[in-house]
Amino acid sequence: MSGLRLLVRDVAQLATPAGREAPLRGRDLGAVEVLEDAFVLCAGETIEAVGRMRDLSRVLEPRDHEVVEVDARGRCAIPGLVDCHTHAAFAGDRVEEFALRAAGASYEALHARGGGILATVRATRAAGEEGLRAAVERHRRWMLRHGTTTFEAKSGYGLDRETELASLRAIRAAGGIPTWLGAHAVPPELDGDAGAYLDFALAEVLPEAARIAEAADVFLERGAFDAAQARRYLTACREAGLALRLHGDQFSEQGAVPLAIELGARSVDHLEATGPDGVRALARSDVTAVLLPASALFLGQPMPPARALVDAGAAVALATDFNPGSAFCESLPLCCSLAATQLRLSPAEALAACTVNAAHVLGRADRLGRLAPGYRADLVLLDAPDWRYLAYHLAGDLVAATIVGGSPVELR
Protein backbone atom coordinates (compact mmCIF):
# COMPACT_ATOMS: atom_id res chain seq x y z
CA MET A 1 0.00 0.00 0.00
CA SER A 2 1.59 3.26 -1.07
CA GLY A 3 0.76 6.85 -0.21
CA LEU A 4 -0.03 8.49 3.08
CA ARG A 5 -1.52 6.40 5.83
CA LEU A 6 -3.53 8.01 8.60
CA LEU A 7 -4.23 6.27 11.89
CA VAL A 8 -7.14 7.53 13.97
CA ARG A 9 -6.39 5.94 17.32
CA ASP A 10 -7.87 5.53 20.79
CA VAL A 11 -11.40 6.24 19.61
CA ALA A 12 -13.69 5.97 22.66
CA GLN A 13 -16.52 4.49 20.59
CA LEU A 14 -16.66 3.76 16.88
CA ALA A 15 -20.16 3.33 15.45
CA THR A 16 -21.03 2.23 11.94
CA PRO A 17 -24.01 0.67 10.23
CA ALA A 18 -23.38 -3.07 10.21
CA GLY A 19 -23.01 -5.38 7.21
CA ARG A 20 -22.48 -4.49 3.57
CA GLU A 21 -26.01 -4.26 2.21
CA ALA A 22 -27.80 -1.15 0.99
CA PRO A 23 -30.35 0.14 1.51
CA LEU A 24 -31.00 -1.08 5.06
CA ARG A 25 -34.63 -1.85 5.83
CA GLY A 26 -36.78 -2.87 8.78
CA ARG A 27 -34.80 -4.27 11.70
CA ASP A 28 -31.54 -4.03 9.79
CA LEU A 29 -31.84 -0.24 9.85
CA GLY A 30 -31.06 -0.19 13.58
CA ALA A 31 -28.17 -2.68 13.40
CA VAL A 32 -25.19 -0.55 14.34
CA GLU A 33 -21.82 -2.06 15.13
CA VAL A 34 -20.11 -0.33 18.06
CA LEU A 35 -16.43 -0.85 18.93
CA GLU A 36 -15.01 0.56 22.15
CA ASP A 37 -11.38 1.72 22.22
CA ALA A 38 -11.04 1.50 18.48
CA PHE A 39 -8.93 2.62 15.56
CA VAL A 40 -9.44 3.47 11.91
CA LEU A 41 -6.49 3.07 9.57
CA CYS A 42 -6.74 4.98 6.31
CA ALA A 43 -4.56 4.39 3.26
CA GLY A 44 -4.81 7.30 0.91
CA GLU A 45 -8.50 8.03 0.44
CA THR A 46 -9.68 4.61 1.54
CA ILE A 47 -10.22 2.83 4.84
CA GLU A 48 -7.71 0.00 5.12
CA ALA A 49 -8.70 -1.41 8.50
CA VAL A 50 -11.04 -0.82 11.44
CA GLY A 51 -10.65 -2.56 14.77
CA ARG A 52 -9.98 -2.43 18.46
CA MET A 53 -6.77 -0.90 19.77
CA ARG A 54 -5.69 -4.21 21.27
CA ASP A 55 -5.63 -5.63 17.72
CA LEU A 56 -3.80 -2.72 16.14
CA SER A 57 -0.44 -4.50 16.07
CA ARG A 58 -1.91 -7.16 13.77
CA VAL A 59 -2.48 -4.60 11.01
CA LEU A 60 0.32 -2.13 11.70
CA GLU A 61 3.90 -3.31 11.72
CA PRO A 62 6.24 -1.55 14.19
CA ARG A 63 8.47 -0.65 11.27
CA ASP A 64 5.67 0.99 9.31
CA HIS A 65 6.66 4.54 8.57
CA GLU A 66 4.77 7.47 7.18
CA VAL A 67 1.78 6.81 9.41
CA VAL A 68 0.26 10.06 10.64
CA GLU A 69 -1.63 9.65 13.91
CA VAL A 70 -4.79 11.41 15.06
CA ASP A 71 -5.48 11.15 18.80
CA ALA A 72 -9.20 10.51 19.28
CA ARG A 73 -9.25 9.96 23.05
CA GLY A 74 -12.59 10.96 24.53
CA ARG A 75 -14.14 11.14 21.09
CA CYS A 76 -16.45 8.94 19.08
CA ALA A 77 -16.11 8.14 15.40
CA ILE A 78 -18.99 7.78 12.97
CA PRO A 79 -19.01 7.67 9.16
CA GLY A 80 -18.96 11.03 7.44
CA LEU A 81 -22.60 12.09 7.15
CA VAL A 82 -24.27 12.08 3.74
CA ASP A 83 -26.89 14.73 3.03
CA CYS A 84 -28.90 13.42 0.08
CA HIS A 85 -31.38 16.30 -0.21
CA THR A 86 -30.31 19.96 -0.12
CA HIS A 87 -31.04 23.08 -2.12
CA ALA A 88 -27.64 24.60 -1.37
CA ALA A 89 -27.41 26.50 -4.69
CA PHE A 90 -29.16 29.72 -3.71
CA ALA A 91 -28.33 33.33 -3.07
CA GLY A 92 -29.89 35.68 -0.56
CA ASP A 93 -32.11 34.59 2.28
CA ARG A 94 -35.78 34.56 3.27
CA VAL A 95 -35.46 35.90 6.78
CA GLU A 96 -38.17 38.51 6.18
CA GLU A 97 -40.60 35.81 5.08
CA PHE A 98 -39.56 33.73 8.10
CA ALA A 99 -40.51 36.60 10.41
CA LEU A 100 -43.85 37.01 8.60
CA ARG A 101 -44.57 33.30 8.97
CA ALA A 102 -43.79 33.49 12.70
CA ALA A 103 -46.54 36.11 12.77
CA GLY A 104 -49.02 33.72 11.17
CA ALA A 105 -48.67 33.71 7.34
CA SER A 106 -48.71 30.23 5.76
CA TYR A 107 -45.91 28.96 3.50
CA GLU A 108 -48.36 28.23 0.72
CA ALA A 109 -49.88 31.73 1.00
CA LEU A 110 -46.44 33.36 0.79
CA HIS A 111 -45.61 31.16 -2.21
CA ALA A 112 -48.84 32.17 -3.95
CA ARG A 113 -48.06 35.86 -3.35
CA GLY A 114 -44.79 35.66 -5.29
CA GLY A 115 -42.68 35.28 -2.21
CA GLY A 116 -41.44 31.83 -1.43
CA ILE A 117 -39.38 30.08 -4.08
CA LEU A 118 -39.70 32.92 -6.58
CA ALA A 119 -38.09 35.39 -4.17
CA THR A 120 -35.02 33.17 -4.11
CA VAL A 121 -35.17 32.80 -7.90
CA ARG A 122 -34.77 36.59 -8.20
CA ALA A 123 -31.81 36.65 -5.81
CA THR A 124 -30.14 33.62 -7.41
CA ARG A 125 -30.46 34.95 -10.96
CA ALA A 126 -28.96 38.25 -9.75
CA ALA A 127 -25.98 36.58 -8.06
CA GLY A 128 -24.21 35.53 -11.26
CA GLU A 129 -22.05 32.43 -11.58
CA GLU A 130 -19.29 33.74 -9.30
CA GLY A 131 -21.78 34.71 -6.63
CA LEU A 132 -23.41 31.31 -6.84
CA ARG A 133 -20.07 29.51 -6.58
CA ALA A 134 -19.21 31.51 -3.47
CA ALA A 135 -22.60 30.74 -1.95
CA VAL A 136 -22.42 26.98 -2.54
CA GLU A 137 -18.86 26.91 -1.21
CA ARG A 138 -19.97 28.77 1.94
CA HIS A 139 -22.81 26.32 2.40
CA ARG A 140 -20.45 23.38 1.92
CA ARG A 141 -18.32 24.68 4.79
CA TRP A 142 -21.39 25.11 6.99
CA MET A 143 -22.39 21.51 6.28
CA LEU A 144 -18.90 20.23 6.98
CA ARG A 145 -18.93 21.83 10.44
CA HIS A 146 -21.94 19.64 11.17
CA GLY A 147 -20.20 16.51 9.91
CA THR A 148 -21.56 16.32 6.36
CA THR A 149 -18.75 15.06 4.14
CA THR A 150 -20.90 14.29 1.07
CA PHE A 151 -23.79 16.43 -0.09
CA GLU A 152 -26.25 16.41 -2.89
CA ALA A 153 -27.57 19.79 -4.01
CA LYS A 154 -30.26 20.74 -6.45
CA SER A 155 -30.62 23.55 -8.90
CA GLY A 156 -34.13 24.96 -9.12
CA TYR A 157 -33.70 28.61 -8.16
CA GLY A 158 -32.62 29.58 -11.67
CA LEU A 159 -35.46 28.36 -13.87
CA ASP A 160 -33.66 29.86 -16.84
CA ARG A 161 -30.98 28.11 -18.86
CA GLU A 162 -28.05 30.18 -17.68
CA THR A 163 -28.77 30.07 -13.96
CA GLU A 164 -29.84 26.42 -13.87
CA LEU A 165 -26.61 25.34 -15.54
CA ALA A 166 -24.53 27.75 -13.43
CA SER A 167 -26.12 26.24 -10.33
CA LEU A 168 -25.22 22.71 -11.38
CA ARG A 169 -21.65 23.77 -12.17
CA ALA A 170 -21.34 25.58 -8.81
CA ILE A 171 -22.46 22.43 -7.00
CA ARG A 172 -19.86 20.34 -8.86
CA ALA A 173 -17.18 22.96 -8.18
CA ALA A 174 -17.85 22.72 -4.43
CA GLY A 175 -17.61 18.92 -4.55
CA GLY A 176 -21.35 18.33 -4.33
CA ILE A 177 -23.47 15.88 -6.29
CA PRO A 178 -25.77 17.89 -8.58
CA THR A 179 -29.44 17.18 -9.17
CA TRP A 180 -31.30 19.13 -11.84
CA LEU A 181 -34.48 20.36 -10.15
CA GLY A 182 -35.64 21.93 -13.39
CA ALA A 183 -39.26 21.52 -12.34
CA HIS A 184 -39.18 23.38 -9.00
CA ALA A 185 -41.58 26.20 -9.91
CA VAL A 186 -42.83 27.98 -13.01
CA PRO A 187 -40.70 31.09 -13.50
CA PRO A 188 -42.45 34.47 -13.24
CA GLU A 189 -41.91 35.34 -16.92
CA LEU A 190 -44.16 32.41 -17.94
CA ASP A 191 -47.01 33.54 -15.73
CA GLY A 192 -48.01 30.16 -14.42
CA ASP A 193 -47.90 28.28 -17.74
CA ALA A 194 -46.27 25.07 -16.54
CA GLY A 195 -46.59 23.38 -19.93
CA ALA A 196 -44.78 26.16 -21.74
CA TYR A 197 -42.06 26.14 -19.08
CA LEU A 198 -41.54 22.39 -19.45
CA ASP A 199 -41.37 22.80 -23.26
CA PHE A 200 -38.53 25.26 -22.69
CA ALA A 201 -36.75 23.36 -19.93
CA LEU A 202 -36.74 19.99 -21.71
CA ALA A 203 -35.69 21.46 -25.05
CA GLU A 204 -33.22 24.10 -23.93
CA VAL A 205 -31.81 23.04 -20.55
CA LEU A 206 -32.03 19.26 -20.28
CA PRO A 207 -29.40 18.37 -22.89
CA GLU A 208 -26.66 20.29 -21.06
CA ALA A 209 -28.04 19.66 -17.55
CA ALA A 210 -27.84 15.92 -18.23
CA ARG A 211 -24.10 16.28 -18.81
CA ILE A 212 -23.52 17.89 -15.39
CA ALA A 213 -26.18 16.46 -13.10
CA GLU A 214 -26.61 12.87 -11.93
CA ALA A 215 -30.33 13.03 -11.24
CA ALA A 216 -33.47 15.02 -12.00
CA ASP A 217 -36.07 16.12 -9.48
CA VAL A 218 -39.56 17.65 -9.59
CA PHE A 219 -41.77 19.43 -7.06
CA LEU A 220 -45.08 17.56 -7.39
CA GLU A 221 -47.57 19.58 -5.35
CA ARG A 222 -50.62 21.84 -5.58
CA GLY A 223 -49.36 25.17 -6.94
CA ALA A 224 -46.24 23.60 -8.46
CA PHE A 225 -46.37 20.67 -10.95
CA ASP A 226 -49.10 18.05 -11.23
CA ALA A 227 -48.61 14.32 -11.78
CA ALA A 228 -48.98 14.50 -15.57
CA GLN A 229 -46.41 17.28 -15.82
CA ALA A 230 -44.08 15.45 -13.44
CA ARG A 231 -44.39 12.28 -15.52
CA ARG A 232 -43.55 14.17 -18.71
CA TYR A 233 -40.54 15.87 -17.10
CA LEU A 234 -39.17 12.76 -15.41
CA THR A 235 -39.64 10.53 -18.44
CA ALA A 236 -37.63 12.90 -20.61
CA CYS A 237 -34.94 13.15 -17.95
CA ARG A 238 -34.73 9.39 -17.64
CA GLU A 239 -34.29 9.12 -21.39
CA ALA A 240 -31.42 11.59 -21.11
CA GLY A 241 -29.71 9.25 -18.64
CA LEU A 242 -30.56 10.91 -15.36
CA ALA A 243 -31.61 9.09 -12.20
CA LEU A 244 -34.98 10.24 -10.87
CA ARG A 245 -36.08 11.89 -7.61
CA LEU A 246 -39.40 13.44 -6.60
CA HIS A 247 -40.57 15.97 -4.02
CA GLY A 248 -43.86 14.38 -3.05
CA ASP A 249 -46.67 14.47 -0.47
CA GLN A 250 -45.27 17.53 1.31
CA PHE A 251 -48.62 19.24 1.84
CA SER A 252 -51.00 16.88 0.04
CA GLU A 253 -51.00 13.53 -1.74
CA GLN A 254 -50.88 14.23 -5.48
CA GLY A 255 -49.74 10.85 -6.79
CA ALA A 256 -46.01 11.18 -6.20
CA VAL A 257 -45.59 7.76 -4.58
CA PRO A 258 -47.18 5.68 -7.37
CA LEU A 259 -45.42 7.78 -9.99
CA ALA A 260 -42.04 7.30 -8.29
CA ILE A 261 -42.58 3.56 -8.16
CA GLU A 262 -43.82 3.35 -11.77
CA LEU A 263 -40.82 5.27 -13.10
CA GLY A 264 -38.25 3.50 -10.93
CA ALA A 265 -37.17 6.67 -9.13
CA ARG A 266 -34.39 6.45 -6.59
CA SER A 267 -36.40 8.33 -3.99
CA VAL A 268 -39.50 10.22 -3.11
CA ASP A 269 -38.77 12.98 -0.62
CA HIS A 270 -40.88 14.74 2.09
CA LEU A 271 -43.95 12.48 2.65
CA GLU A 272 -45.39 14.59 5.48
CA ALA A 273 -48.85 13.99 4.01
CA THR A 274 -48.43 10.33 3.04
CA GLY A 275 -51.21 8.03 4.23
CA PRO A 276 -51.25 4.28 4.91
CA ASP A 277 -51.60 3.35 1.22
CA GLY A 278 -48.46 5.28 0.35
CA VAL A 279 -46.59 3.68 3.24
CA ARG A 280 -47.54 0.20 2.07
CA ALA A 281 -46.67 0.95 -1.54
CA LEU A 282 -43.25 2.30 -0.63
CA ALA A 283 -42.54 -0.70 1.58
CA ARG A 284 -43.07 -3.01 -1.40
CA SER A 285 -40.90 -0.90 -3.71
CA ASP A 286 -37.27 -0.07 -4.36
CA VAL A 287 -37.91 3.65 -3.90
CA THR A 288 -36.24 5.16 -0.83
CA ALA A 289 -38.37 7.44 1.36
CA VAL A 290 -36.28 10.53 2.15
CA LEU A 291 -37.55 12.22 5.32
CA LEU A 292 -36.88 15.88 6.03
CA PRO A 293 -37.89 16.59 9.63
CA ALA A 294 -36.13 19.97 9.81
CA SER A 295 -38.44 21.17 7.05
CA ALA A 296 -41.52 19.95 8.89
CA LEU A 297 -40.30 21.66 12.06
CA PHE A 298 -39.42 24.88 10.24
CA LEU A 299 -42.85 25.09 8.64
CA GLY A 300 -44.76 23.82 11.65
CA GLN A 301 -46.08 20.93 9.52
CA PRO A 302 -46.90 17.41 10.74
CA MET A 303 -43.95 15.04 10.73
CA PRO A 304 -43.73 12.28 8.10
CA PRO A 305 -44.85 8.74 9.12
CA ALA A 306 -41.30 7.55 9.72
CA ARG A 307 -42.03 4.78 12.21
CA ALA A 308 -44.74 3.34 10.00
CA LEU A 309 -42.43 3.39 6.99
CA VAL A 310 -39.58 1.64 8.81
CA ASP A 311 -41.87 -0.91 10.44
CA ALA A 312 -43.52 -1.68 7.09
CA GLY A 313 -40.09 -2.35 5.59
CA ALA A 314 -39.55 0.72 3.47
CA ALA A 315 -36.03 2.02 2.86
CA VAL A 316 -35.78 5.33 4.73
CA ALA A 317 -33.16 8.08 4.53
CA LEU A 318 -32.84 11.34 6.49
CA ALA A 319 -31.76 14.64 4.98
CA THR A 320 -31.81 18.33 5.88
CA ASP A 321 -33.68 19.85 2.90
CA PHE A 322 -31.31 22.81 3.50
CA ASN A 323 -32.83 25.81 1.69
CA PRO A 324 -33.58 29.42 2.53
CA GLY A 325 -37.37 29.17 2.65
CA SER A 326 -38.60 26.03 4.31
CA ALA A 327 -35.53 24.63 6.11
CA PHE A 328 -32.68 27.04 6.75
CA CYS A 329 -30.81 24.22 8.44
CA GLU A 330 -27.69 22.41 7.25
CA SER A 331 -27.34 20.22 10.34
CA LEU A 332 -27.81 16.48 9.98
CA PRO A 333 -27.17 16.03 13.72
CA LEU A 334 -30.23 18.21 14.33
CA CYS A 335 -32.16 15.96 11.94
CA CYS A 336 -31.01 12.96 13.98
CA SER A 337 -32.32 14.65 17.15
CA LEU A 338 -35.62 15.31 15.42
CA ALA A 339 -35.68 11.71 14.21
CA ALA A 340 -35.35 10.47 17.80
CA THR A 341 -37.76 12.96 19.38
CA GLN A 342 -40.34 13.50 16.62
CA LEU A 343 -40.09 10.53 14.23
CA ARG A 344 -39.74 7.73 16.80
CA LEU A 345 -36.53 6.46 15.21
CA SER A 346 -33.73 5.21 17.44
CA PRO A 347 -30.32 6.90 17.27
CA ALA A 348 -29.05 3.80 15.42
CA GLU A 349 -31.82 4.03 12.81
CA ALA A 350 -31.15 7.75 12.39
CA LEU A 351 -27.44 7.10 11.85
CA ALA A 352 -28.06 4.53 9.13
CA ALA A 353 -30.63 6.82 7.52
CA CYS A 354 -28.14 9.67 7.01
CA THR A 355 -25.15 7.51 6.11
CA VAL A 356 -25.59 4.25 4.22
CA ASN A 357 -29.18 4.80 3.11
CA ALA A 358 -28.49 8.38 2.04
CA ALA A 359 -25.46 7.11 0.11
CA HIS A 360 -27.75 4.58 -1.58
CA VAL A 361 -30.03 7.40 -2.76
CA LEU A 362 -26.96 8.97 -4.33
CA GLY A 363 -25.83 5.68 -5.92
CA ARG A 364 -22.71 5.48 -3.75
CA ALA A 365 -23.47 2.97 -1.02
CA ASP A 366 -20.57 0.78 -2.09
CA ARG A 367 -18.08 3.50 -1.08
CA LEU A 368 -19.85 5.80 1.38
CA GLY A 369 -21.74 5.57 4.64
CA ARG A 370 -19.78 2.99 6.59
CA LEU A 371 -16.54 2.69 8.52
CA ALA A 372 -15.23 -0.50 6.99
CA PRO A 373 -12.33 -1.59 4.78
CA GLY A 374 -12.70 -0.47 1.18
CA TYR A 375 -15.02 2.42 1.99
CA ARG A 376 -13.92 5.99 1.46
CA ALA A 377 -12.07 7.36 4.51
CA ASP A 378 -14.69 9.97 5.45
CA LEU A 379 -15.26 10.14 9.19
CA VAL A 380 -16.46 12.48 11.88
CA LEU A 381 -15.05 12.66 15.39
CA LEU A 382 -17.69 13.68 17.91
CA ASP A 383 -16.89 15.58 21.10
CA ALA A 384 -18.91 13.09 23.12
CA PRO A 385 -18.40 10.00 25.29
CA ASP A 386 -21.17 8.05 23.49
CA TRP A 387 -21.81 8.12 19.76
CA ARG A 388 -25.56 8.49 20.37
CA TYR A 389 -24.93 12.11 21.40
CA LEU A 390 -25.32 12.57 17.64
CA ALA A 391 -29.07 12.53 18.32
CA TYR A 392 -29.07 13.20 22.07
CA HIS A 393 -27.14 16.47 22.23
CA LEU A 394 -29.80 18.72 20.70
CA ALA A 395 -28.10 21.50 18.70
CA GLY A 396 -24.85 20.72 20.50
CA ASP A 397 -21.48 21.82 19.18
CA LEU A 398 -20.68 18.21 18.57
CA VAL A 399 -18.29 17.86 15.66
CA ALA A 400 -14.72 18.00 16.98
CA ALA A 401 -12.96 17.03 13.75
CA THR A 402 -13.69 15.75 10.28
CA ILE A 403 -11.56 13.54 8.05
CA VAL A 404 -12.39 13.59 4.36
CA GLY A 405 -10.79 11.17 1.93
CA GLY A 406 -8.18 10.26 4.53
CA SER A 407 -7.17 13.84 5.34
CA PRO A 408 -8.12 15.94 8.38
CA VAL A 409 -9.83 19.15 7.27
CA GLU A 410 -10.13 22.47 9.06
CA LEU A 411 -13.65 23.23 10.18
CA ARG A 412 -13.28 26.99 10.76
- Contacts with a second copy, residue ranges (CB under 8 A): 93, 95, 98-99, 101-104, 142, 145-146, 294, 297-300, 327-331, 333-334, 339-342, 344-348, 385-386, 388-389, 391-397
For residue 394, the minimal CB distance to a second copy (Å) is 4
We find the least distance from the C-beta atom of residue 393 to a second copy, in angstroms, to be: 6
Q: How far apart are CA 26 and CA 296, in angstroms?
A: 23
What is the C-alpha to C-alpha distance for residues 46 and 406, in angstroms, rounded to an integer?
A: 7
Residue 377's Cβ-side half-sphere holds a number of Cα atoms within 13 Å equal to: 23
H-state helical runs in 21-160: 56-59, 95-102, 107-112, 117-145
C-beta of 145 vs 231, nearer to a second copy: 145
Q: How far is the CB of 340 from a second copy (least distance, A)?
A: 4
50-58: which pairs have CB atoms within 8 A and are 24 or more residues apart?
50/14, 50/16, 50/371, 50/372, 50/373, 53/9, 53/10, 56/9
Give the nearer residue to a second copy in terms of CB position, either 60 or 105.
105
Check the CA dihedral 215-274-222-256 and report its sign: positive
The answer to whether the beta carbons of residues 32 and 17 sit under 8 Å apart is yes
Least Cα distance to 391 among 356, 321, 342, 326 occurs for 342
Q: Which is nearer to a second copy, 371 or 398 (CB)?
A: 398
Residue with smaller CB distance to a second copy, 278 or 347:
347
Q: Which CB atom, from 224 or from 339, has the smaller least distance to a second copy?
A: 339
Report the alpha-carbon distance of residue 304 to residue 291 in Å, rounded. 7
Q: Tell me the one-letter amino acid at 210.
A: A
Task: State which residue, 289 or 339, has the beta carbon closest to a second copy.
Answer: 339
Is residue 308 within 8 Å of residue 121, measured between CB atoms?
Answer: no
Closest CB to a second copy among 252 and 342? Answer: 342
